[in-house]
Structure 1
């Protein structure tokens, strides 16, 4: 395969470029999940998501948003693993995921639960399921969906139905680290063969893939994670050009409702993400708002459940409006008082490991 002409901008030309739009893109994706969930959570009769007709039953907005998250994550964490090694990679991933998640889970159990349950305080705190829910903070075990007596009158009784994707993501991180330890990503020809072989293997034997294979629902986000990894490995061949972006946009749109959707949409959609991240005008949310996308994602569902319980006759759009306001506040608090300090701790740990020699990282660059 020949390299693009020198004048063409490829993904590799943006290595280390922190003037990207990943923070904005992740925020839009997180809000899209909130919007998409407002319809099943509110459960109002006569309302259907208008985007479903646009997608012609090929997908829905929440799935597209989650898949976008996984593609970005696969791309960025592959860079982290190859540039810094497995130990730094593990430290970075743990401190990005677990502090914010732990506070969210403990808040649901010890604040939201006692206020929202229809049980007495003694019944709630003596129930086994109350403490079983704390295992969600580890994001690797089987997910616990509900708390005793909480949201039982709502259309959905789950406390935070979005957290299952974090379990998939953490397991994808672990698989990637294992692959990296065997140097299967270090050399591009080997990495290309391995990624193609893994993709082909998953078509017929997905259930045999370690860590993620036992749940077919995890296959789609894992695929987008793999696409993100592949984009990073082959970044010197991926040209970012508006004509290609326009072609990918058209292919995405016309694939809805077609049998070839699942073959075309992943690569085209992921290309559009990276075009928007690097080739579009930079919008610096990190300096103004911070990277609140992770907080929006983990706090949206329980907030929407509270709105649905307080306003059972409201429309999904009302749920979206009130939940957006409250979730944004919680996400801002989470970023500034939990996630950002954790990232600072990460830098301290990495400096200790490298005796003060560590590449500077601006908060919000890496994917949650």
Structure 2
């Protein structure tokens, strides 16, 4: 790590390996933003979302939050691969994604589905769609969103619409693993050329990219993941200063509603994420609460749907408030009793400290 004096501008690379960052706080905030954003369409009040006009139809709060997740992920998992190698990388990714996902999908299928289905219990458990939903535990295929007879009368009948991003995430992990195995991540110039070539290719032929090109909707999170990778490769050349942070925020705002939004907003937003992660006051969320962000993300939609089912006359703000209380509780339980112990297995196997 380069020595930083009070008069010098710190670079992103100066924080290599530092745990004094606000990534956990940002992920929790992004996860809650997805919950808040979904509360409007889930309750059938999508047109009442107060942020629609602010974003001038360029994007919406849930999309921004998911993009932030992918940018952070691209940066951190690239760092993990570069520092610890292929085996550690693979074990870390599996232990971070799958234990909580498997439990969430199984609880949704066996408990929530059996409770709320309009079918006879025997018909529900013999319906092929019930067991096909369990394929969501693999996160290797486009997700199935419906269970037979569950939430079919609600404005949004999907059981857990948020899960669509997980196959994208896993596909990005696999592609990064392949690229990392070739050694391209060791050299900044080659890595940048490869990233630029991939970006230009994806602009015209995204559907031809292995794994991630299967669904057009996956393009945006993949771009943000790639930006996170590029930020890690160029961390020694990216200054983190207050004027640049303010400029990035201003540029992101000005880009809303403009034809050039897709070219300007992503890098400005990603820069702002890393500025806030390393240069804003350290909150030390991990010490006091752990990291419930993943649990908030995967449990929010089904909990919000149950609230709509039980309180059909209530609107998005009631849904947001009650869902926040329930989901954060579930997420904290998931972190402390499932996710964190699962990550601890890596420390036991490889004699390293766990990293999400």
Number of residues of Structure 1 aligned to a counterpart in Structure 2: 352
Report the Cα distance in structure 2 between the residues aligned to 1:262 and 1:44, rounded to whole angstroms. Answer: 27
Residue aligning to 2:212: 212
Are 2:263 and 1:232 aligned? Answer: no
TM-score if structure 1 supplies the norm length? 0.94
Structure 1 residue 299: deviation in Å? 0.1
User: Secondary structure of 1:282's partner?
Assistant: coil
**Which structure 2 residue ranges, 5 or more long, are not aligned?**
none
Report the Cα distance in structure 2 between the residues aligned to 1:86 and 1:253, rounded to whole angstroms. Answer: 39
TM-score if structure 2 supplies the norm length? 0.97
What are the superposed Cα offsets for residues 209-264 of structure 1, whole Å, 9 maximum, x if unpaired?
00011211000000000000000000001000000000011001111000111101
Residue aligning to 2:27: 26
User: Secondary structure of 1:32's partner?
Assistant: helix
Structure 1 residue 292: deviation in Å? 0.4
What are the superposed Cα offsets for residues 261-315 of structure 1, whole Å, 9 maximum, x if unpaired?
1101110100110001001110011111110000000000000000111111111
Report the Cα distance in structure 1 between the residues aligned to 2:115 and 2:25, rounded to whole angstroms. Answer: 34
Which segment is superposed worse, 5-14 or 233-242?
5-14
Report the Cα distance in structure 1 between the residues aligned to 2:96 and 2:261, rounded to whole angstroms. Answer: 33
Structure 1 residue 81: deviation in Å? 0.8
User: Secondary structure of 1:119's partner?
Assistant: coil
Report the Cα distance in structure 2 between the residues aligned to 1:128 and 1:245, rounded to whole angstroms. Answer: 52
Report the Cα distance in structure 2 between the residues aligned to 1:350 and 1:329, rounded to whole angstroms. Answer: 31
Residue aligning to 1:354: none
Q: Which runs of 4+ in 1 moved over 4 A?
A: none
Residue aligning to 1:39: 40
Residue aligning to 1:146: 146
What are the superposed Cα offsets for residues 10-47 of structure 1, whole Å, 9 maximum, x if unpaired?
010000110110110000000000000001101048x5
User: Secondary structure of 1:185's partner?
Assistant: helix
User: Secondary structure of 1:213's partner?
Assistant: helix
Report the Cα distance in structure 1 between the residues aligned to 2:89 and 2:13, rounded to whole angstroms. Answer: 20
Residue aligning to 1:311: 311
Structure 1 residue 83: deviation in Å? 1.1
Structure 1 residue 65: deviation in Å? 0.1
Structure 1 residue 183: deviation in Å? 1.1
Structure 1 residue 157: deviation in Å? 1.0
